[in-house]
Amino acid sequence: MIKLSKKNFLKVSQFIKKKARVLDQQLYSFYFEKGLQCDVIEALTKYQNSDGGFGHGIEPDFRSPSSSPIATTMAVEYIEKVDRNSPVLLKAINYLVESFDELLQKWRAVPKDVNSFPHAPWWHINDKTGFCVIDKGWKNPTVEILGYLYQYPNNFLFIKLEELTQKAINLLLNQKDKMESEHNLYCYLIFYDHIPKKYKTQIKSKLCELIKGTVNINVDDWSSKYVPTPLQFIDDPKSLFCSLLADAVDKNLDFLIKAIDASEAWYPTWKWG
């Protein structure tokens, strides 16, 4: 496996310090420069609304200032990296509880005003149906949110949580050898990390099967196509699923290290706007 050179590390570091959002600058500082937890949390609060939810472009693919479950789950992912006891996190969880759609029995993805602000086409709400493409399904972001409700104090009805959890598990177990969207599978991985052990034992082997069936291990696709790469499933060497894709993870790391030789940063493979 190739190692990232100090020269390239510093190059990327300078890019982050000059061009990244303050939030991502603070997260970089926390990981690599002994930065403070409170600085990351303070940067996050700039995206939080009075209802506890998050918006304001924390998910860069839609810029509505309004709170939404998708934007809030992204914020929770940030907060969990630095301070799981933060009041900011508890406010976010309370927002998620309150934003549950009783009629649909799930969480809708984006706010109703998403079309009024710059946004990627997959977040656009259809005027006739009232849904964006992601909202046509049930799993994203609902499955991820269910996991959080097991982990943090909240007043979501426990019987309802158990019912929805069983639905999430049944949908997973009945899935064929490949998930219809990698984003749904990402939600299940977060779900797995937060749920009680009795549920983990039910779904672990199926998750392994779906990870192997969904991941794209074709190196030629990684630089030009929007595909689920190994590191999007395995972001920690301590991951329970790391052994599934050990060789592919090494190749993915090598790919990223080689790519930075000719660039100042890693850029998305998709565009909109």
Strand partners, 62: 119
Percent of the chain with pLDDT over 90: 93
- pLDDT value for 18: 97
> Which of 162, 150, 148, 72 minimizes the C-alpha distance to 110?
72
- pLDDT value for 167: 99
- pLDDT value for 137: 95
Q: What is the pLDDT of residues 23-34, one digit of tens each?
A: 999 999 999 999
- pLDDT value for 177: 86
Instruction: Say yes or no to pLDDT of 272 above 90.
Output: no
**Separation CA 125–CA 111 (nearest Å):** 9
- pLDDT value for 259: 94
Q: Give SS3 for 101.
A: strand
Q: What is the pLDDT of residues 174-206, one digit of tens each?
A: 999 899 999 999 999 999 999 999 999 999 999
Is residue 110 within 8 Å of residue 132, measured between CB atoms? yes
Please, how many CA atoms are within 13 Å of residue 71, restricted to the half-sphere of its CB?
30
Q: Give SS3 for 58.
A: coil
Q: At what angle do helices 197-214 and 182-194 cross, to 10 degrees?
A: 160
**Separation CA 163–CA 166 (nearest Å):** 5
Strand partners, 119: 62
- pLDDT value for 2: 92
Residue 253 buriedness (CB in 10 A; 0-12 / 13-18 / 19+): middle
Average pLDDT of the chain to the nearest whole number: 96
Q: What is the pLDDT of residues 205-242, one digit of tens each?
A: 999 999 999 999 999 999 999 999 999 999 899 898 89
Q: Which residues of 136-169 are buried (b: 16+ CB within 10 A; e: fewer)?
A: ebbbbbbbbbbbbbbebebebeeeeeeebbebbb
- pLDDT value for 235: 87
> Which of 162, 241, 239 minimizes the C-alpha distance to 195?
162
> Which of 78, 187, 195, 106 minimizes the C-alpha distance to 147?
195
Give mean pLDDT, residues 118-127: 96
Q: Residue type for 252, please?
A: N
Range with lowest mean pLDDT among 107-116, 163-172, 232-241: 232-241
Give mean pLDDT, residues 85-104: 98
Instruction: Say yes or no to pLDDT of 258 above 90.
Output: yes
**Separation CA 81–CA 95 (nearest Å):** 20
- pLDDT value for 97: 99
Is residue 211 within 8 Å of residue 163, measured between CB atoms? no
Range with lowest mean pLDDT among 12-21, 158-167, 260-269: 260-269
Instruction: Say yes or no to pLDDT of 273 above 90.
Output: no
The conformation of residue 123, written as its DSSP 8-state character, comes to G
Q: What is the pLDDT of residues 54-76, one digit of tens each?
A: 999 999 999 999 999 999 999 99
Close Cβ partners of 265 (under 8 Å, ≥ 6 residues apart):
12, 15, 16, 19
Give mean pLDDT, residues 98-127: 97
Range with lowest mean pLDDT among 48-52, 99-103, 234-238: 234-238
- pLDDT value for 112: 93
